[in-house]
């Protein structure tokens, strides 16, 4: 769940909507960001069924385990490419492994180490050859493969399998995975209304 920035409201034409002072619009933006900061990078419901998909930071903040694995793998692969300067055979081998695991992760649920970290490492290793061994064309194959995989994943969307058998899905109230987000949004709306009324 996200809240659209409200700075546009301050700059909107008079005939389109009531004009808010710029400082009020900025205060609303800051308030919205703070209200939803705890789940901004979670990308999953915050319930027990998705606990294995999240990494807990502190008391309230959550981040997506898959995204952390993907980002870490990319950084490690990129760093290894410049420190080891792998041969062309290693570049294409890592690319083949990355592609195979990437395709497998789109078909079945793999552990994050295999489904996110290793493919990102392999693609980054090959992609860095743009700077370490430009003539290998591994970088081009890596960019195309990673881009295609990203598009397929975006089209498929995240797995919602745990929701299919959850008894809360039939209840009218927000489920436990979104209850805190909804409470924060309602609290933000109340605070925002007070700011707007005062302006």
Specify whether the CB–CB gap between 101 and 88 falls below 8 A: no
pLDDT digits (tens, 9 = 90+) for 9-46: 344 444 344 677 888 889 999 999 999 989 989 989 99
Q: What is the mean pLDDT of the chain?
A: 85
> CA 71 to CA 35: how far, in whole Å?
25
For the entire predicted model, the pTM comes to 0.75
Percentage with pLDDT > 70 across the chain: 90
Render pLDDT for 58-116 as a digit per residue (tens, 0 to 9): 888 899 999 999 999 999 999 999 898 888 888 899 999 999 998 898 888 889 999 99
CA atoms of 22 and 28, how far apart (whole Å): 10
Q: What is the residue extent of each domain of the chain?
A: 1-35, 65-157
pLDDT of 18 reads 62
Nearest to 95 by CA among 84, 103, 107: 103
What would the two tokens of residue 94 be?
Answer: 């890592």
Higher pLDDT, 127 or 134: 127
The C-alpha atoms of residue 33 and residue 188 are separated, in whole angstroms, by: 10
Q: 91: which residues sit within 8 A by CB, 6+ positions away?
A: 125, 126, 129, 133, 136, 138
- The reported pLDDT for the residue numbered 68 is 95
Q: What is the mean pLDDT of residues 143-161?
A: 84
């Amino acid at each position: 769940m996200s809240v659209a920035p409200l700075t546009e409201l301050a700059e909107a034409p008079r005939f389109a909507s009531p004009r808010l002072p710029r400082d009020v619009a900025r205060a609303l933006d800051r308030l919205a960001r703070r209200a939803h900061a705890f789940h901004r990078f979670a990308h999953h419901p915050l319930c027990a069924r998705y606990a294995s998909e999240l990494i807990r930071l502190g008391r309230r903040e959550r981040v997506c385990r898959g995204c952390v694995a993907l980002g870490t793998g990319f950084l490690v692969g990129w760093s290894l490419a410049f420190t080891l300067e792998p041969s062309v055979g290693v570049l294409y081998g890592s690319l083949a492994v990355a592609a195979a695991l990437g395709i497998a992760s789109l078909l079945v649920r793999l552990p994050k180490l295999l489904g996110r970290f290793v493919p990102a490492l392999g693609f980054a290793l090959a992609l860095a050859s743009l700077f370490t061994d430009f003539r290998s064309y591994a970088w081009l194959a890596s960019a195309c493969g990673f881009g295609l995989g990203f598009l397929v994943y975006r089209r498929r969307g995240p797995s919602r399998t745990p929701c299919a058998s959850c008894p809360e899905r039939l209840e009218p109230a927000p489920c436990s995975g979104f209850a805190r987000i909804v409470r924060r949004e309602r609290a933000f709306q109340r605070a925002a209304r007070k700011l707007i009324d005062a302006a």
